[in-house]
Amino acid sequence: MSRAVALHLGLIAALFAAQFVLPTYHQGNVARIMVLATYAIGYNVLFGYTGLLSLGHAMFFAAGLYGLALPIQHLGWGAGPALLSGVAAGALLALVVGLLALRTIGVAFMIVTLMFSQAFYLSVLLAGTWTRGDEGFVIPAAKQVLFGIDLATPTTRYFAALALFSLALLATLALVRHPFGKTLIAIRENEERARMLGYDTFRHKLGAVVISGAISAGAGAGFALLFGYAGATFASVQYSIFPLLWVLLGGAGTVIGPLIGTLFIFYLIDYASGLTDAYMAVVGVVLVALTLFAPQGIAGELRRRVWKGLP
């Protein structure tokens, strides 16, 4: 077993063991963090490994969220088919968006993804009869059952979040060690040279968009199922900025970076809000300092200073 595989399996084992020692409050927090870190992992595939900066990833998260929640709410579907529906909705949306947005590069790509995301957000609001708009709706606890397991209880919710996160983490680790993933990194470093070597860069970038969208949608579907709520807020622009922030601070282009960034920011906000009403000022100062002294993110600095082979 390689050191990289051992590290990531050890991280999963540590999260598994943490459930037995964490207080109830932190148990709920870590479950939420793992689901959001899964979303950040999806974003990292596109931004960290492929070099494509999207400002519209909230549409994929929300596609998974509503792809699960709407069939359960209005069609009476069970959690299993609805979960598949959510992932499929995100992957299909990512395919369509990718085919159109990848005709642009650089700043234009950011703007196009932002425009698509805002169009999706407005569509959710306009479809308020079914989505309930910003108010959203609650998924009944009786529907939060998958394979006979009640996911509404804190312990099962934690382990389900861990399973979702572990699947995304190990899949990303396998991806970056696969020739396809290595090609994505080559495109990030020098797309023109990758094209000259004979790689179909458009096809690889489109694959990255679809994979990223599917993982992000899986996180959205998992969030709706585990926490029993779907609302338009999750399609807003702030939920496109969050994963960028988590990935940048955790370490773009590292497999464990998204979890580190999500965990760090979540508890930074939680701790600072207990100190002062101006907690976002405290958060801002810490983030600026971290950006100045660890420009590659926390995991990125570990790779630069401690272990250069950290995937």
Q: Which of 40, 304, 38, 49 is nearest to 177 (CA)?
A: 49
User: What are the pLDDT digits (tens) for 19-59?
Assistant: 999 999 999 999 999 999 999 999 999 999 999 999 999 99
Does residue 1 surpass a pLDDT of 80?
A: no
Sign of the torsion formed by the C-alpha atoms of 167, 171, 172 and 173 = positive
The answer to whether the predicted template modeling score (pTM) of the entire model surpasses 0.85 is yes
pLDDT of residue 306: 84
- The tens digit of pLDDT for each residue in 207-222 reads 999 999 999 999 999 9
Half-sphere exposure of 37 (CA within 13 A, CB side): 33
pLDDT greater at residue 3 or residue 83: 83
pLDDT tens profile 219-256: 999 999 999 999 999 999 999 999 999 999 999 999 99
CA dist., res. 283 & res. 305, Å (int): 25
Task: Give the pLDDT confidence score for residue 66 in this predicted structure.
Answer: 97
162-194 pLDDT, tens per residue? 999 999 999 999 999 999 999 999 999 999 999
Domain boundaries of the chain, sorted by first residue: 23-236
Q: What is the pLDDT of residues 116-169, one digit of tens each?
A: 999 999 999 999 999 999 999 999 999 999 999 999 999 999 999 999 999 999
Residue whose token pair is 């992932």: 87
